[in-house]
Every structure is written in structure tokens, then in C-alpha cells.
Amino acid sequence: MVRTIALLIGAGFVFVLGIALFGTVSTAISDPAPETAEHEFHLHPKDAHLPSAGLVGKFDRQQLQRGLKVYQEVCAACHSLKFVSFRDFEQLGYSEGQVKALAQAWPIEQPSVNPDTGEAATRKNIPSDRVPSPYPNEVAARAANNNALPPDLSLMTKARHDGANYVASLLTGYQNQPAELLRKFPDAKTPTGLHYNPYFANLNIAMPPPLTSDGQVTYDDGTQPTKQQMANDVAAFLTWTAEPNLESRHGAGLATVIFLAIFVFLTIGAYRNVWRGVKH
């Protein structure tokens, strides 16, 4: 009796789900969602061909240093990097002394308190400090950016789909709205204070173009600082900030695959050796 009741309840539940699914599909067919500018003109990020991409990708230390310089001279004026300490930059190939000098020369200092007066003050950065935010709080950040809050970039390439390619494409994707977009969607004109970028989710982004011209940053290694090169370099750097252990993870994954391949080969050999005298 209990089993019969349970079966009836289950059948009723499935029946109700079937009706709901049928209604949803019927509505989608008879009354499809209207086309939107975001759906039609949003672009998938272009492949930046970073060395860290792929199953066995590795970081290019020189590229990471170039990316740090782009962040320092272009991005740090608005975006924080709160999960990264200055001493972490030793992983990019800098010596302890270079990291100390970099921290002290950083344009934004650490908040502090004057021990004599008790008033707010600032001090030079030291290697153990986190990279400081350009704003004291969220209110100040919004006030300086037309009420838009610049996101922290520490984990940006993990927070966005196809993150490294997204960053590189977004930085080089600013353009005028296509005439076709305005013809098909007259109400989709970019609002005042925003900027059209087809790689951004809703096509209009509050951040002005950060990379405005070639040569905006001077590289120490002589690399030509084109806009695309700077975008790729800072995307590589932000890939490292989001996952500094990427190379170790790739190495462990490759070792695991090799181990499993050898294990499978040995298992097949053992199986054939044990059962070779048995007739099927």
C-alpha cells in the first residue's frame, strides 16, 4: 500500500513537471524573447596566445614584468590589487632588493598614523605590504569615477569567462558604435559617460579607454609597447595574480596523466599475463 502511494505521488510529480516543461517550451516557440543589442553585437574574446594558456602553459617572466609595469603606470590609478603583496613579485624574477625598491617607489603609500600627533598619515611601502588601493574607501572610489566602482583586479581573470583573453580584448576593444547597431536598435545608443566596447557584457562600460596610444609605457627590455602588446602583457600579469601556482598545477596534472597512462599499460600487461593460459 505504501509503495503504491509512493508511486502515485512520484507519477504526479513527474506529470506536473512535464506540464510545466511543455508550457515553457510552447511559450518559447510561440512567443520568443525579442532580440537585443547585447545578444547580437556582443563579441567573444580574441585569443591573446599567452604562453600560460593550454594544458602545459608556462609564464613568461619577462612578459609578467612588463605586465606589472603596465599595471603600475596605467591600471593602478583606479584599480586595486588587494590580494597581492609586494614580496610576491619575487616570483616574477625580481631580487629581494629590487622588490624593496619597487615597494618604496610605488606611487601610492600605505595609510598610517603619526605617532606624535595621532593624526592620519602615510608611510612608504615595505615588501610585506599588500599592494595599496588608490582610494581610501568605496565612497571615495565611486566619487572619483562617476559613481562606478573600479573592481579589484587580483582575481579578475578567474572571475570572467576566458579571463586572460577577455582582459586583452576588452582593453583593445573600445570603438564607435556600429551604424548597424543604431539602425536596428535606436534605443541602444551609448549613454553619456559610458564607452562602447563589444567585449563588455552589456556593450557599454564606465571605464574610459586605459590604453590610448602605442608607447604609453616604456619597456625596460626593449619590447615595442604597442596597444595590443601592453594589453597582452597586463592580461598575462593578471593571470599570474589570480593563479600564481598555475605552472605547478600544470606540472602536477601532466605528471598525473603520465602516471595513469603507465598504470593502464601495466594493468593491461598484467591482465594478459595472468589470463594468457586460459581458453575463452
Residue 108 in any domain: the answer is no
Largest distance between two CA atoms of the chain? 94
pLDDT at 169: 98
pLDDT at 28: 56
pLDDT at 66: 98
The model's pTM: 0.84
Q: Give binding residues as ranges.
A: 75, 78-79, 207
Give CA separation, 11 vs 1, 4, 17, 23, 171, in Å: 15, 10, 10, 18, 54
Q: Give binding residues for heme c as ranges.
A: 75, 78-79, 207
Averaged pLDDT in 10-residue chunks for the chain of 280 residues:
77 79 67 72 95 92 97 96 96 96 92 81 92 93 92 96 97 95 91 95 95 95 96 98 94 92 92 76
Residue 8 in any domain: the answer is no
Residue 229 in any domain: the answer is yes
| Helices 227-242 & 163-172 angle (0-180, nearest 10) | 150
Cα–Cα nearest to 91, from 253, 270, 248, 267 = 248
Residue 155 in any domain: the answer is yes
Pairwise CA distance, residues 228 & 172, whole Å: 7
| 238 DSSP 8-state letter | H
The whole-chain average pLDDT of the chain stands at 90
With beta carbons less than 8 A apart as the criterion, state whether 197 and 170 touch.
yes
Residue 90 in any domain: the answer is no
Report residue 237 as a C-alpha cell: 600579469
pLDDT at 34: 62
CATH number at residue 200: 1.10.760.10
Residue 91 in any domain: the answer is no
Residue 161 in any domain: the answer is yes
The number of folded domains in the chain is 1
Give the structural domain span for 153.
Answer: 38-80+133-243
Residue 32 in any domain: the answer is no
Is residue 39 packed enough to be buried (19+ CB in 10 Å), middle (13-18) or exposed (0-12)? exposed
